[in-house]
């Protein structure tokens, strides 16, 4: 596995709040962190193409509180360059990790090559993982959002979301993958071999196609 960060510090057994679209929003996570804190919390997934093109409203999915840590922001999409920009944004927001969704089977997502659709294109999937890992490394080494074409409006919103959280140290955060055992048939063993080639920090796998 790659740089695992907080993953190596989680007490066993690990009980996580899975990323669920339309469910794990800020209000839901706030209540869970307050009354039944899991080992790790994930946000809803957010589309990288939208973020990279300046959809400021999408950033609301990444509002979080310190008591949610360790908290991981989840992204989905298929454009490699958009993954890079979006990953830099999550780094700038101080997330503890970034998770790449390679498991959503919803037609409008998977049919265009995102989510579970990436199981059918392992070379693209591996390139995405490597790109997100590079973004995390670049941010740790001083990369700025403005230098990669992130809009001024997006940068301003990110700064507003960071207000009051204090300074955070630029460090390489772990990149993980959420996926499933196959898209339309079981290919778990072959698929995981592809993922392991690029050494994500963690792989979470659904037990169904």
Q: Just list the catalytic residues.
A: 104
Q: Which residues of 184-205 are buried (b: 16+ CB within 10 A; e: fewer)?
A: eeebbeebeebbeebebbbebb
| Rounded distance between C-alpha atoms, residue 65 and residue 67, angstroms | 5
| Rounded distance between C-alpha atoms, residue 87 and residue 104, angstroms | 19
Chain mean position to CA 199: 15
Q: What is the largest CA-CA distance in the chain?
A: 48
Q: 81, 96 in Cβ contact below 8 A?
A: no
3-state secondary structure of 28: helix
Query: How many CA atoms does the CB half-sphere of 158 hold within 13 Å?
Result: 22
Q: Which residues of 18-31 are buried (b: 16+ CB within 10 A; e: fewer)?
A: ebebeebebeebee
């Amino acid at each position: 596995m790659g740089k695992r960060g907080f993953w190596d510090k989680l007490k066993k057994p690990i009980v996580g709040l899975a990323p669920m679209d339309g469910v794990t929003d800020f209000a839901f996570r706030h209540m869970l962190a307050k009354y039944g804190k899991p080992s790790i919390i994930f946000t809803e997934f957010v589309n990288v193409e939208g973020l990279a093109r300046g959809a400021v409203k999408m950033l609301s999915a990444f509002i979080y509180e310190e008591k949610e840590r360790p908290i991981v922001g989840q992204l989905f999409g298929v454009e490699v360059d958009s993954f890079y920009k979006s990953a830099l944004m999550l780094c700038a927001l101080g997330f503890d990790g970034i998770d790449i969704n390679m498991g959503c089977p919803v037609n409008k997502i998977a049919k265009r090559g995102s989510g579970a659709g990436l199981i059918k294109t392992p070379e693209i999937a591996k390139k995405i993982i490597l790109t997100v890992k590079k973004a995390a490394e670049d941010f740790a080494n001083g990369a700025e959002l403005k230098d990669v074409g992130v809009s001024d409006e997006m940068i301003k919103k990110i700064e507003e979301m960071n207000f009051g959280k204090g300074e955070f140290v630029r460090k390489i955060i772990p990149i993980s993958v959420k996926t499933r055992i196959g898209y339309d048939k079981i290919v778990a063993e072959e698929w995981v071999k592809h993922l392991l080639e690029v050494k994500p920090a963690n792989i979470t796998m659904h037990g169904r196609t």
